[in-house]
Amino acid sequence: MAPPACLYRFRPLEDALLDRELTALRESFLYSPPFGAMNDPMEAFYETGGPGDRIVEAMLGPAAGGLQHLYGLLSETIDRFALVSFAGTFENLPMWAYYASNFAGMCLEFDTDQLTIGDFQNETLRPVTYAHKALSPLSVADMAPDRLEEAIIARITRKRAEWSHEKEWRYVTGEVGRKHYLDDALRRVFIGPRAREDYVTTVCDVLDRRPVEVLQGEIKGFELTFRTIKPARPIGECERIGAGIFDDEEIYGPEALSAFFGSSYEAFLEACRRTAARPNMEKFAGIDLSTDRDAAAYVWTVYRLRNGRDVYDKRYFDRRLRLLPRRA
């Protein structure tokens, strides 16, 4: 299943958690907690010791204690996995009640494609599956190198069917901690109709020089609607994180690229300029015709995150300047 174009993260706005949430907005990160910290104690449930393992134990006899050691190592591995959960819409009213301070919190809208460029690179994004029963216990066979990760992820992304209305997606991350994203990966922030006025003002102040639209909720009868209270800043007015370097030296073969794009070449250069204007854009690592994909040019971009780390993103375009799918 392909992920939705946007992912949504419901967050609280209340005294005890306000500094935490504002820091995450200010520094452009999402926190990835261990899966054991999830709100539903039955989710991410797993057991060890499948039926086939009993045969192995019988064959090994006294040496079967080694299986328990393996199970212990497996549990330690699983305990190191962490999750960041998202919804597929901002209009799910129960989610506003559960996770956004009973309509006094906020919901963050992310561009799914842009979210993959930061610290979520090479992490696994999966839809949650909903069922009435847990998967079978993890067995020795599941510990094979080509099966273990998938076996763990299948269990970490499983919840009881009663939660299916959430339509949840999860990033399964390799470790607990902050996951920084590009400033413009965050597109909109929806604030609940019950949010305190001073909290609303503070959120707008934090995002003032960001390309992020802030909207406030209103209750009209049986409807929850939103109106813009802070438009997204134009890119040229946003706070810069990267240097935004673009000059002719980044284009390795301008004549070949001009011939490749033809009448679209100037539009291609303009697209590069727009990329350079993005808040986190540091520089181009290369712009050239591709040698590993037929009839394609590439743009290799370096972005600087707010934690100071540089991340790389390589995009391919065809002759008509259409973005080609990412390589798996």
Q: What are the pLDDT digits (tens) for 171-206?
A: 998 789 999 999 999 999 999 999 999 999 999 999
Residue 134's pLDDT is 83
Q: Which of 34-48, 56-70, 230-244, 261-275 has the lowest mean pLDDT?
A: 56-70
**Cα separation, 236 vs 96, whole angstroms:** 33
Characterize 91-121 residue by residue with b for buried, 16 or more Cβ atoms within 10 angstroms of its Cβ, and e for exposed: ebeebbeebbbebbbbbbbbbbebbbbbbbe
- The model's confidence at residue 313, banded by pLDDT at 50, 70 and 90, is very high
| Cα-Cα end-to-end distance for the chain | 15
Residue 250's pLDDT is 73
**Cα separation, 94 vs 256, whole angstroms:** 55
**Cα separation, 275 vs 287, whole angstroms:** 12
Q: Which two tokens stand for residue 289?
A: 């015709």
- The model's confidence at residue 80, banded by pLDDT at 50, 70 and 90, is confident
- The model's confidence at residue 210, banded by pLDDT at 50, 70 and 90, is very high
Q: Which two tokens stand for residue 231?
A: 């438009």
